[in-house]
């Protein structure tokens, strides 16, 4: 790839973040613009124009562009996807309504499952039957399917999901239905399960395929529109989209497998954790990306993020490989309120980008976390974004006093600190979900905090969890955009075959993996990846006989021998012990799914050390009163761009920059390393 500029763009609920890396010098340039929820592409173009104008560049110098988008996520969460029809095997039309027996909330008698994405009136049962072995028991009734297609077309439905029983074992009937749809309803978007998710479990597979069909038209429209805008602007790079699994796909692939982008943005945040775990020689980290509306939390062990295929988005199961991210409604814009019992609550409702927190002066009327941080002096009480956004401290004080302090009978500072304590408690619970509840001790990890609001809260979160080290990226407010630039093109392939440890043979597994690897190599070759640029890795989903869910373990790439299988079984017992607190070494082990991850390696950005060494350490630029545990402390304020390598800042201190603010409380100190990351640890001298 010719030298130029690599650009990562992350669309958030409040801001759209841009990170530009100069391939020649390794320098980083950043920008933040307000998101445009009605048309997210406008914010992307606004950000690019702003960045290239400020830096004196031209669009054709952008040689690589990757984008993390929330279009699929918002369409699903807001119920604004396309009207969708489902064609399934006759007798299985009710699978979305039946679902699983598990309750959304165990002790809530009034708990309700979300309304199925596809209404029952648009679920059609095709006369056909294929066995789990792939044998055709009943051929597809083409005339019946054609009549369904005509009804769907006459209803004005332009997105169709096709999910037949056991299509993962033999896709022939789904392929025939796809051809019939293309012949009789050519303008329709078609999603067939054998192309998106050739895996067993009827409810989860059907739900995933329907989600893909539901968001597909909107993602197609957005991606096509953005591609056109980028072309008109003169950007040289093709458009690449971030996947939920931490990999990259082309814009064309995103249009076909739109459900793979549901957690597109948060995946970039997890990758900055991977980058820092490698850079700082800290293999185990927990990341928390706190933005305007939510916090995304991810555990990274041995420099690898945990992956899952059992995600749930607002009650809708989606069974595609994705980084295991726990998202909670805790962001800078999260609204503080008092419940019916008189308790202070924060979130999940958010002021978002419009109108935003009250202190932004854009019409917000509810107190938020950002308002509390301004009142406590932790955020600059005059301006944000380097002076681009005015802060209205008086309005923040007024709303917190009227809606929180007075009803609770406390003073303004107590109310603001209470808001911070509650939102911190919410995030601590979220961190425990990805660590303690999954067999990990948070004390064995470092905490990486980023997002516009994350560094304000990082040290307090670590202290509550007995985590001794906090790392703040050089540009925390655009960390997800930067993380995307470290991703590779990735495709996941799977084949279901249930076979136990007594029946399994290495030669049979080799055949399965070889077939999947051929598919991966062919797809990557079409995208221009060959030789050393191609990486293939094997995984197996395993369980004890009789269990309903599996653990996914890596499988050696070399020939699978009896010794290799024995080693794999041993690792399964160990992993099960860590995950669930017990193992049964005498039990039969079952293989369920065989997976191959095919990656096309993209060039890595070589970053320059952006902190000069050997210069006089920067002094604070100012001081202001900041509140810690009810005490107002005169606190030095530092400008991050002026800090030098190896500089140590003793708390209390505030470090300000364009995209975020760092709080170093009393008793802690921050050290600046060569790439500009700040490492915060307890000050042993205090």
Question: pLDDT for 437-472, tens place per residue?
Answer: 888 999 999 999 998 899 999 999 999 999 999 999
Query: To the nearest whole percent, how much of the chain has pLDDT over 90?
Result: 64
**Is 347 in the same domain as 457?**
yes
CATH code for the domain in which residue 579 is found: 3.30.1490
- pLDDT of 3 over the 70 cut: no
- 98 assigned to some structural domain: yes
Instruction: State in Å, rounded, how far the first CA of the chain is from the last one.
Output: 51
Q: Per-residue pLDDT tens for 164-184? A: 999 999 999 999 999 999 999
Residue 209: closest CA among 187, 224, 189: 189
Mean of the per-residue pLDDT values for the chain?
A: 90
**Is 381 in the same domain as 454?**
yes
- pLDDT of 1 over the 50 cut: no
Q: How far is CA 633 from CA 246, 485, 665, in A?
A: 42, 40, 10
Longest CA pairwise span in the chain (Å):
81
Q: Tell me which of 143-147, 392-396, 602-606 is least confident.
A: 602-606
CATH code for the domain in which residue 423 is found: 3.30.420
**Is 303 in the same domain as 424?**
yes
Cα torsion angle, 268, 272, 275, 281, sign: negative
496 φ/ψ angles, rounded to the nearest 5 degrees: -85, 130
What are 87's strand-pairing partners?
A: 124, 162
- Residue ending a domain, among 159, 184, 215, is 215
**Is 166 in the same domain as 69?**
no
Identify the pLDDT of residue 387.
64
- 612 assigned to some structural domain: no
- 483 assigned to some structural domain: no
Q: How many CB atoms lie within 10 A of CB 275?
A: 23
- 478 assigned to some structural domain: no
More confident residue, 610 or 257: 257
Residues in CB range of 423: below 8 A, 6 or more apart? 330, 334, 346, 347, 369, 457
284 φ/ψ angles, rounded to the nearest 5 degrees: -110, 115
CATH code for the domain in which residue 231 is found: 3.30.420.40
**Is 295 in the same domain as 392?**
yes
- The number of residues making up the chain comes to 686
- pLDDT of 383 over the 80 cut: no
- 481 assigned to some structural domain: no
pLDDT band of 614, cuts 50, 70, 90: very low
What is the mean predicted confidence (pLDDT) over 87-96?
A: 96
CATH code for the domain in which residue 185 is found: 3.40.50
What is the mean predicted confidence (pLDDT) over 562-582?
A: 91
Q: Per-residue pLDDT tens for 471-484? A: 999 989 888 898 89
**Is 14 in the same domain as 58?**
yes
pLDDT band of 617, cuts 50, 70, 90: low
Q: Helix/strand/coil (H, E, C) string of 172-217? A: HHHHHHHHHHHHHCCCCEEEEHHHHCCCCCHHHHHHHHHHHHHHHH
- Range of the structural domain that residue 36 is part of: 5-76+220-261
More confident residue, 8 or 102: 8
Identify the pLDDT of residue 111.
79
- Residue ending a domain, among 565, 600, 635, is 600
Residues in CB range of 667: below 8 A, 6 or more apart? 651, 682, 683, 686
- Residue ending a domain, among 261, 293, 322, is 261
**Is 58 in the same domain as 88?**
no
Q: Per-residue pLDDT tens for 228-257? A: 999 999 999 999 999 999 999 999 999 989
**Is 236 in the same domain as 295?**
no
- 199 assigned to some structural domain: yes
**Is 84 in the same domain as 203?**
yes
What is the mean predicted confidence (pLDDT) over 583-600?
A: 93
Residues in CB range of 3: below 8 A, 6 or more apart? 23, 24, 63
DSSP letter assigned to residue 405: I
Residue 345: closest CA among 353, 356, 337: 337
Rounded to whole angstroms, the Cα distance separating 276 from 478 reads 14
Q: Helix/strand/coil (H, E, C) string of 604-639? A: CCCCCCCCCCCCCCCCCCEEEEEEECCEEEEEEEEE
More confident residue, 496 or 651: 496
- pLDDT of 12 over the 80 cut: no
- pLDDT of 534 over the 90 cut: yes
- 473 assigned to some structural domain: no
Identify the pLDDT of residue 109.
81
Number of folded domains in the chain? 5
pLDDT band of 528, cuts 50, 70, 90: confident
- 324 assigned to some structural domain: yes
Cβ atoms of 35 and 12 within 8 Å: the answer is: yes
**Is 326 in the same domain as 456?**
yes
**Is 371 in the same domain as 415?**
yes
**Is 86 in the same domain as 59?**
no
Query: To the nearest whole percent, how much of the chain has pLDDT over 70?
Result: 96
């Amino acid at each position: 790839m010719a030298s130029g500029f690599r650009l990562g763009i992350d669309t958030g609920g409040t801001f759209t973040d841009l990170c530009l890396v100069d391939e020649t010098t390794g320098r980083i340039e950043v920008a933040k613009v307000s998101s445009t929820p009605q048309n997210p592409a406008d914010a992307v173009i606004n950000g690019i124009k702003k960045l290239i104008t400020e830096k004196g560049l031209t669009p054709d110098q952008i040689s690589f562009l990757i984008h993390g988008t929330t279009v699929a996520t918002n369409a699903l969460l807001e119920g604004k996807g396309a009207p969708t029809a489902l064609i399934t095997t006759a007798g299985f039309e009710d699978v979305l309504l039946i679902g699983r027996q598990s309750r959304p909330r165990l002790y809530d008698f009034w708990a309700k499952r979300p309304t199925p994405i596809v209404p029952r009136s648009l679920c059609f049962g095709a006369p056909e039957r294929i066995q789990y072995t792939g044998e055709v028991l009943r051929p597809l009734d083409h005339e019946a399917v054609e009549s369904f297609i005509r009804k769907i077309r006459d209803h004005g439905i332009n997105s169709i999901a096709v999910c037949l029983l056991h299509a993962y074992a033999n896709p022939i009937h789904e392929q025939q239905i796809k051809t019939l749809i293309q012949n009789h309803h050519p303008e329709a978007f078609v999603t067939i399960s054998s192309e998106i998710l050739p895996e067993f479990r009827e409810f989860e597979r059907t739900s995933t395929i329907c989600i893909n069909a539901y968001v597909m038209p909107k993602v197609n429209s957005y991606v096509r529109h953005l591609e056109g805008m980028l072309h008109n602007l003169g950007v040289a790079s093709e458009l690449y989209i971030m996947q939920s699994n931490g990999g990259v796909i082309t814009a064309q692939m995103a249009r076909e497998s739109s459900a793979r982008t549901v957690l597109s943005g948060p995946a970039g945040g997890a990758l900055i954790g991977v980058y820092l775990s490698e850079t700082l020689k800290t293999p185990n980290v927990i990341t928390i990306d706190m933005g305007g509306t939510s916090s995304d939390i991810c555990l990274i062990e041995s420099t690898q993020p945990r992956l899952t295929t059992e995600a749930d988005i607002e009650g809708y199961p989606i069974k595609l490989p994705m980084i295991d991210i726990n998202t909670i409604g805790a962001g800078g814009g999260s609204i503080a309120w008092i419940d019916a019992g008189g308790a202070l609550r924060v979130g999940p409702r958010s002021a978002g980008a419009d109108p935003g927190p009250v202190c932004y002066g854009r019409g917000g009327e509810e107190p938020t976390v950002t308002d509390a941080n301004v009142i406590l002096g932790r955020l600059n009480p005059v301006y944000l974004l380097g002076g681009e956004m005015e802060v209205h401290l008086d309005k923040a004080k007024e709303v917190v006093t009227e809606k929180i302090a007075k009803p609770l009978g406390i003073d303004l500072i107590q109310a603001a600190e209470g808001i911070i304590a509650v939102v911190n408690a919410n995030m601590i619970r979220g961190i425990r979900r990805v660590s303690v509840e999954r067999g990990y001790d948070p004390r064995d990890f470092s905490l990486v905090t980023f997002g516009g609001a994350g560094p304000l809260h990082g040290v307090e979160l670590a202290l509550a969890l007995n985590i001794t080290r906090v790392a703040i990226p050089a540009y925390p407010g655009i960390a997800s955009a930067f993380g995307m630039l470290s991703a590779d093109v990735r495709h996941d392939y799977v084949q279901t075959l249930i076979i136990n440890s007594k029946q399994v043979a290495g030669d049979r597994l080799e055949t399965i993996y070889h077939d999947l690897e051929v598919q991966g190599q062919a797809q990557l070759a079409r995208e221009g990846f060959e030789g050393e640029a191609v990486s293939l890795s094997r995984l197996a989903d395993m369980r004890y006989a009789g269990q309903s869910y599996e653990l996914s373990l890596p499988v050696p790439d070399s020939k699978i021998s009896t010794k290799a299988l024995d080693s794999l079984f041993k690792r399964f017992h160990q992993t099960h012990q860590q995950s669930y607190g017990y193992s049964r070494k005498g039990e039969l082990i079952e293989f369920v799914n065989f997976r191959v991850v095919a990656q096309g390696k993209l060039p890595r950005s070589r970053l320059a050390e952006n902190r000069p060494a050997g210069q006089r350490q920067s002094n604070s630029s100012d001081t202001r009163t900041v509140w810690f545990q009810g005490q107002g402390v005169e606190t030095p304020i530092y400008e991050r761009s002026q800090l030098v390598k190896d500089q140590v800042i003793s708390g209390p201190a505030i470090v300000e920059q364009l995209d975020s603010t760092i709080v170093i409380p009393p008793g802690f100190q921050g050290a600046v390393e060569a790439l500009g990351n700040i490492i915060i640890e307890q000050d042993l001298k205090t």
